[in-house]
Amino acid sequence: MRELFGIPVDTLLVVLGIALGIALGILGILALRHPVLVKLGVRNLGRRRGRTALIVVGLMLGTTIVATALTTGDTMSHTIRGTAVRTLGQTDELVSANGTELSLGTGLGSATGVEYFDEDVVERIDAALAGTDLVDGVTPAIIEQIAVQAPAQRQTEPRVTLFAADPTRMDGFGTIEGTPGEVTLHDLEGDEVFLNAEAADELDVGRGDTIVILVGERSVHATVTDIVRYQGAGTDGSAVMLPLAKAQAILGRLDQARHVLVSNRGDEWSGAALTDEVVRTLTPVLEPLGLDVDPSKQDALENADVQGSTFMAFFTTFGSFSIAAGILLIFLVFVMLATERRGELGIQRAIGTRRGHLVQTFTFEGAAYDLVAALVGALLGAAIAFLMVLVMAQAFDTAAGESLNIEFSVTPRSLAIAYALGVLLTLAVVAVSAWRVSTMTISAAIRNLPEPWAPRRRRRLALAAIGLAFGGLLTLSGVTGDAATPTMVGISLILVSLVPVLQVLGLSERFAYTTCGLLIAVLLMLPWRLWEEALGPLSMDFSTWIAAGLMIVVGAVWVIVFNADVLLGLAMRVLGRIRSLAPVLKISMAYPLANRFRTGTTLAMFTLVVFTLVTGTVSNGSFIAASQNEETFGGGFDVRASTSGATPITDVRQAIANSPALRSDELTVAASQSFLPIDAVQTGTGRDLEPYLVRGLDDAFLDHTTFEMGKIAEGYGSSRDVWEAVASQPNLAVVDSTVVPRRDNWNFGAPADFRLTGFYFDEGTFEPIPVAVHDRQTGTTVQLTVIGILSEATPLEMAGISTSQTSLENAFPGRAYPTIFYFEAAPDVDPGDMATRLESAFLGNGMEAESIQKVMTDATAGAVTFNRLIQGFMGLGLIVGVAALGVISARSVVERRQQIGVMRAIGFRRGMVEASFLLESSFIALTSIVVGTLLGLLLAWNIIADTRRQPSWEHLTLVVPWLNLLVIFLLVYAVAMVATIAPARRAARVRPAEALRYE
Amino acid sequence: MTSADAHPQSPLVEARDIQKIYDTGKVKVHALNGVSLAIGRGEMVAIMGPSGCGKTTLLNCLSGLDGVDAGDVLIDGTSLASMSDRERTDYRALHMGFVFQFYNLMPVLSAVENVELPLLIARRPQRDARERALAALELVGLAGRAHHVPDELSGGERQRVTIARALANDPAVVWADEPTGDLDSENAAEIVELMRGLNEEHGLTFLIVTHDLTVGEQADRIVRMLDGQVVEAELRAPVTT
């Protein structure tokens, strides 16, 4: 993994380590100077063990969420690394013909062209590496996609990897594990082959069975000698293994190889460290031969880390609100602890304990909770991540239609970061709350009287002035830098700082908080169109959502808390008519009103969680619903198919006509694409060529496709105009939207190296863009002109620079043959059935086909599962809510013990006492549900409305999954009740005579 | 048996040889050791004695706030022991009022809301409850402070609110545990005078646990306790002020 919160992970670890060291060092020195304060602070841990446990739970949640996000990143990184190692084994570099490999297993298409070269190249490589001690194995090899049949089992696999290497050169490439133990390619004689376990499983064959290898028109029978396990066959899926000479004979490539595999010194993981040196050594030797040294392992491992970071960023972003709620909970817990000990602390102050000593005592206690809680939190986070990756595996299986072998992994680095972050965050909050506690009036504290009101007018005004100045500067920097996040935070800060100013001006507390809270919530909820009309274009990303979301909730909670009497008065007027409910209502409404801090903080926590869940559920649901459009997703076709690069179909319509299994009238359109890995750069930018890919679309595709443009160059009116221009004029092209910058960045993934610049996808228009496309194999460069950017709703399978097949053939003759096919089925033909028949008809070409409907359904199902996973992750914040309500209710029972005694004395039944506690929590939960839902729906509407203004999403509509929301509401309410039920029962069991004696 | 039954008519409250033992696990404390007592309707009885003699325990047992380990308490002829917790609670809500040393008002409710709470428990309509609560506050001279929360009232005022709360439901008996214990002498005298007046004018029955001799002097009868037993019952002619 690379970055967390935009900071390189290793740097973050060092910084956090140093910060934690300093913090613990300071605590240690203070502890040595005043051991008695440590004793005073730490002894509280054992006083009430149940509550200590609750506090630890409350404190650990922030750490848990960070640890979950980091461990998920670790796991994804490890899984993808594992896939790379299973695919490449000991191979670190892959020597191939220039311009043939994008990288193994991207799934975006198969390239054609000159791929084979003389196997004697291996001797030059040996010579170049002689005496360097860099590598421990070099072998010529063929890794190719073929189709395999098992006649006796009636099984067919259109795409199996054929792996062939020189048996005499397999040292350094790991061992092949057969049934009797280690086997070698040497052991194979005649028509014998090995199958790996995956292939044997899919074909349902065992030792001694016969298979048929199909390559184009040719078919070869082979006997399965053994079922083996081998890492490095060029796939982590099905493979058939045989000696190089035999593969050359089957493929008609005598004395030729498709690759030279190079294994660096070291094992399958560590070898990649020598890759740069190996590439430097080999490039001068191979370049003149038209060969390329691909640092396959190193690239794969780096890609794994990028993917891991993407997941981590995703989960830390969506966990931000829960982390914020967790911080609020820590603050609440310590403020309540301080309130409970107020009398005790007052006495300590009275007998001469300095304020600083109180802060230290409290901080020592907090640190003790903190050190334990962060450890538990980090470990729990890893456990939750484990559960999450299980769900993720299911999501990937659904989306990809095949199994992703998720390997759980957690690195000490991730746990250390989560632990350090959790400890430091909590220590900071504890120190602030300890300071807040220490500023007490001693006499009031001893007698447990309310803190006398101190005007502190000057201090409040000074703080307000700082807030106003900082807010103003932030707003200014946001507006001048066209950035939404600082602008929104700045304006919010100004409004927050206005509260004390309004109060000093003599306006009531209620007016000040209500006005400012309302302004914050309303302003940040305004359609973003209005913000841009007022302030010009503002770029947004996930930080905008997080910052605005937090401020909106703060504003809304202020409005509620300072006007709750009106709401509750109304509730009392309506529900109070039920006479049996009236006294319970009266009590349960009075307490939340009387303690605005507690009520507001808990409300904020619950509202944050509901708000994020609703926003996430509704907006993601809307996007998923929008993507379920077969017309947009399929581009006007019903079936998508692809063949191996070794066996392209040059004229698909003719091939269909020639196939006895298919009738031409069953397919109304048969279109094709070729696929070529190239290097490209936007002309005139001075940048270097970067690897990308180009597609050649045939006339049938260009005539028929309905794939929409997200952005169209000046001079073209519609998507159809663009496609027709690409078909009729040479060297015109369209690109996918991922290579175009956006002003708003709602993506987590790393962008491709090839980029177009000079305009934004989501803003304004663009002039046709010249792009130089260079084919490494032929050394030819062609200038293409990009006149359209594909819509974001277009599937990934259209990624690349797409031009006409004619243009591509003219630019790079003989290089690009069709390997990707799109079909439109006749009205009475079932696309799913047609896909199966196409696979069967073109088995020799290794054709894999699927109906667009199935591809889309699989993709949607995966997205839905992933969406639920995110919901579950955001729902972790509910634990914060449980802990908060649990802490508050438990504390309330202790605080109100005497009052409970009075209630019981004057006639409250046990059930009424219990009901009053449950109603208090209900007030918090129901208010949070209503407010969080309203705010969440408004923000989701805002997101949808804003997105609809942007290219690609004109048809996006707000879809509210009410059933899903209902489940969330019930869950939130149930959680609130569960958290309160135990303290409420305890309150109901209070014996009045005992409680009345309690002080 | 120690008898302190000095009331000839059918008593409103009657304790029959009650015993109360607090078991702390290590030691057993006999808080009440065979107490018998009868309180007639409209009577104002003061229970006095040194700290720890069992006064508050007796009040708690008589009012049903606490159970007894032996013996029985009859209220209006009904045995408290035969009542479930729920029935005892309802009985307190409908027929009893309480005044405590530390006022024990709900700090989050205003004076009038505190007073109307027992009325709401007794399922009176909200408007009626509010009217009666205001009337009770007027009776104790606090009509003008009805919407203040306890923190905004003086000690004497808070105790008046407590008394108003105790009266609001027209109780058969008011139990007062050290009602002047947290007040200065001036406020204490006012409270005692108020209770006496309510006793005389409205026929309210009071049982007051107190250390305060001035309270005892106002009572119809003083019951003295020592070590969990009633040791002396003294009938007195109350001092009118």
d(CA A347, nearest CA chain B) in Å: 21
Tens of pLDDT along A891-913? Answer: 788 888 888 888 988 888 999 99
- Is the pLDDT assigned to residue A114 strictly greater than 70? no
DSSP-H helix ranges across chain B: 55-63, 85-95, 111-121, 126-139, 155-167, 185-202, 213-218
d(CA B120, nearest CA chain A) in Å: 5
Tens of pLDDT along B113-164? Answer: 999 998 988 888 888 999 999 999 998 888 899 999 888 898 889 988 999 9
Q: How far, in Å, CA of B11 to CA of A566, rounded?
A: 49
Residue B179 CB neighbours (<10 A): 29
Instruction: For residue B65, give the nearest of A586, A912, A993 by CB distance.
Output: A993
Query: Can you read off the two tokens belonging to residue B8?
Result: 């000839």
The helix/strand/coil state of A162 is strand
Asked if residues A908 and A988 have their Cβ atoms less than 8 Å apart, the reply is no
Q: How far, in Å, CA of A691 to CA of A679, rounded?
A: 4
The predicted pLDDT at position A556 comes to: 95
| Buried b or exposed e, range A150-183, using 16+ CB within 10 angstroms | beeeeebbbbbbbbbbbbebbebbbbbbbeeeeb
The predicted pLDDT at position A105 comes to: 44
Q: Given CB atoms, is A232 within the 8 Å cutoff of chain B?
A: no
Q: How far, in Å, CA of B82 to CA of A633, rounded?
A: 77
Report which of B106, B7, B47 is spatially closest to residue A583, judged by C-alpha positions. B106
| Buried b or exposed e, range B203-228, using 16+ CB within 10 angstroms | ebbbbbbbebeebbebbbbbbbbeeb
Interchain contact, A586 vs B121, CB within 8 Å: no
Residues in chain B with CB shorter than 8 Å from the CB of A912 are 121
Tens of pLDDT along A739-775? Answer: 998 877 666 666 778 999 988 887 777 899 999 999 8
Least confident among A507-516, A723-732, B23-32: B23-32
Report which of A9, A173, A15 is spatially closest to residue A77, judged by C-alpha positions. A9
**For range A570-577, the mean pLDDT:** 79
Percent of chain A past pLDDT 90, that is, above it, reads 36
CA B31 to chain centre: 19
Cα torsion angle, A360, A361, A364, A370, sign: negative
Where residue A506 falls (left for φ over 0; alpha for ψ -120 to 50; beta otherwise) is left
Report which of A495, A501, A500, A531 is spatially closest to residue A515, judged by C-alpha positions. A495
Tens of pLDDT along A791-826? Answer: 888 888 899 999 999 999 999 988 888 989 999 999
* Rg of chain B (C-alpha set): 17
Mean pLDDT (chain B) is: 85
- Is the pLDDT assigned to residue A276 strictly greater than 50? yes
The helix/strand/coil state of A780 is coil
Least confident among A188-192, A353-357, A784-788: A353-357
Residues in chain B with CB shorter than 8 Å from the CB of A997 are 56
Asked if residues A631 and A972 have their Cβ atoms less than 8 Å apart, the reply is no
Q: In this structure, which amino acid lies at residue A910?
A: R
**For range A506-517, the mean pLDDT:** 93
Largest CA distance in chain B: 52
Report which of B14, B61, B68 is spatially closest to residue B41, judged by C-alpha positions. B14
Could you tell me the pLDDT band of residue B2, with boundaries at 50, 70 and 90?
Answer: very low
Could you tell me the pLDDT band of residue A154, with boundaries at 50, 70 and 90?
Answer: confident
d(CA B218, nearest CA chain A) in Å: 25
Asked if residues A255 and A140 have their Cβ atoms less than 8 Å apart, the reply is no
Asked if residues B25 and B196 have their Cβ atoms less than 8 Å apart, the reply is no
**For range A255-268, the mean pLDDT:** 92
Q: How far, in Å, CA of A613 to CA of A932, rounded?
A: 9
Query: Can you read off the two tokens belonging to residue A827?
Result: 């009205």
The predicted pLDDT at position B239 comes to: 47
Instruction: Give strand pairing partners of A670.
Output: A823
Q: At what angle do helices A509-525 and A910-948 cross, to 10 degrees?
A: 40
The owner of tokens 């048809």 is: A955
* Rg of chain A (C-alpha set): 34
Query: Can you read off the two tokens belonging to residue A205?
Result: 């064959």
Tens of pLDDT along A593-624? Answer: 888 888 898 889 889 888 988 988 888 888 88
The owner of tokens 């891991």 is: A308
Could you tell me the pLDDT band of residue A6, with boundaries at 50, 70 and 90?
Answer: low
Could you tell me the pLDDT band of residue A56, with boundaries at 50, 70 and 90?
Answer: confident
The helix/strand/coil state of A950 is coil
Residue B141 burial class via C-beta count within 10 angstroms: exposed 0-12, middle 13-18, buried 19 and up:
middle
Interchain contact, A996 vs B89, CB within 8 Å: no
Interchain contact, B126 vs A905, CB within 8 Å: no
Rounded (to 5) percent helix, strand, coil in chain A: 60, 15, 25
Q: In this structure, which amino acid lies at residue A110?
A: S
Q: How far, in Å, CA of A291 to CA of A183, rounded?
A: 32
The predicted pLDDT at position A62 comes to: 80
Could you tell me the pLDDT band of residue A559, with boundaries at 50, 70 and 90?
Answer: very high
Tens of pLDDT along A409-422? Answer: 888 888 999 899 88
Interchain contact, A590 vs B122, CB within 8 Å: no
Residues in chain B with CB shorter than 8 Å from the CB of A580 are 123
**For range A699-725, the mean pLDDT:** 93
d(CA A564, nearest CA chain B) in Å: 14
Asked if residues A277 and A229 have their Cβ atoms less than 8 Å apart, the reply is no
Can you tell me the ipTM of this complex? Answer: 0.84
Asked if residues A3 and A309 have their Cβ atoms less than 8 Å apart, the reply is yes
Could you tell me the pLDDT band of residue A398, with boundaries at 50, 70 and 90?
Answer: low
Nearest CA in chain A to B121: A583
The predicted pLDDT at position A671 comes to: 95
Asked if residues A781 and A772 have their Cβ atoms less than 8 Å apart, the reply is yes
**For range B34-59, the mean pLDDT:** 91
Tens of pLDDT along B49-59? Answer: 998 898 989 99
The predicted pLDDT at position B207 comes to: 93
Distances (CA, A) of A832 to A396, A667, A825, B120: 21, 13, 10, 70
Higher pLDDT, A300 or B2: A300
Interchain contact, B89 vs A904, CB within 8 Å: yes
Distances (CA, A) of B104 to A520, A735, A876: 41, 77, 40
Q: How far, in Å, CA of A183 to CA of A594, rounded?
A: 79
Q: In this structure, which amino acid lies at residue A630?
A: E
The predicted pLDDT at position B4 comes to: 44
Q: How far, in Å, CA of B19 to CA of B58, rounded?
A: 9
The predicted pLDDT at position B5 comes to: 46
Report which of A362, A420, A378, A377 is spatially closest to residue A21, judged by C-alpha positions. A420
The helix/strand/coil state of A799 is coil
**Can you count the helices (H) and strands (E) in chain B?**
7, 11
Query: Can you read off the two tokens belonging to residue B28?
Result: 């057993």
Instruction: For residue B108, give the nearest of A576, A590, A993 by CB distance.
Output: A590
Q: How far, in Å, CA of B32 to CA of A369, rounded?
A: 45
Q: How far, in Å, CA of A353 to CA of B240, rounded?
A: 52
Query: Can you read off the two tokens belonging to residue A840?
Result: 């069967």
End-to-end CA distance of chain A: 56
Interchain contact, B107 vs A594, CB within 8 Å: yes
Query: Can you read off the two tokens belonging to residue A491?
Result: 């304006």
Mean pLDDT (chain A) is: 86
Asked if residues A743 and A760 have their Cβ atoms less than 8 Å apart, the reply is yes
DSSP secondary structure string for all residues of A592-641: HHH-HHHHHHHHHHHHHHHHHHHHHHHHHHHHHHHH--HHHHHTT-SEEE
- Is the pLDDT assigned to residue A970 strictly greater than 70? yes
Report which of A855, A812, A849 is spatially closest to residue A693, judged by C-alpha positions. A812
Report which of B58, B96, B93, B83 is spatially closest to residue B177, judged by C-alpha positions. B58
Could you tell me the pLDDT band of residue B3, with boundaries at 50, 70 and 90?
Answer: very low
**A&B contacts, CB < 8 Å:** 90
Provide the edge-to-edge strand list for the sheet that holds B96-100. Answer: B96-100, B173-177, B205-209, B44-48, B221-226, B229-235
DSSP secondary structure string for all residues of A190-212: TTEEEEEHHHHHHHT--TT-EEE
Chain A, residues 571-630, CB within 8 A of chain B, namely: 576-577, 579-580, 582-583, 586-587, 590-591, 593-594
Q: If you ran DSSP here, which 8-state letter would residue A708 be given?
A: P
Percent of chain A past pLDDT 70, that is, above it, reads 95
- Is the pLDDT assigned to residue A126 strictly greater than 70? yes
Query: Can you read off the two tokens belonging to residue B170?
Result: 């027209």
Measured at the alpha carbon of residue B184, what is the angle toward residues B183 and B188, in degrees to the nearest 5?
Answer: 65
Q: How far, in Å, CA of A712 to CA of A400, rounded?
A: 31
Q: How far, in Å, CA of A71 to CA of A388, rounded?
A: 10
- Is the pLDDT assigned to residue B24 strictly greater than 90? no
Counted residue by residue, chain A has a size of 999
Residue B106 phi, psi dihedral angles, 5° rounding: -75, 115
Tens of pLDDT along A203-228? Answer: 999 999 999 998 877 889 999 999 99
Q: Given CB atoms, is A923 within the 8 Å cutoff of chain B?
A: no
The predicted pLDDT at position A104 comes to: 40
Query: Can you read off the two tokens belonging to residue A285?
Result: 């030797």
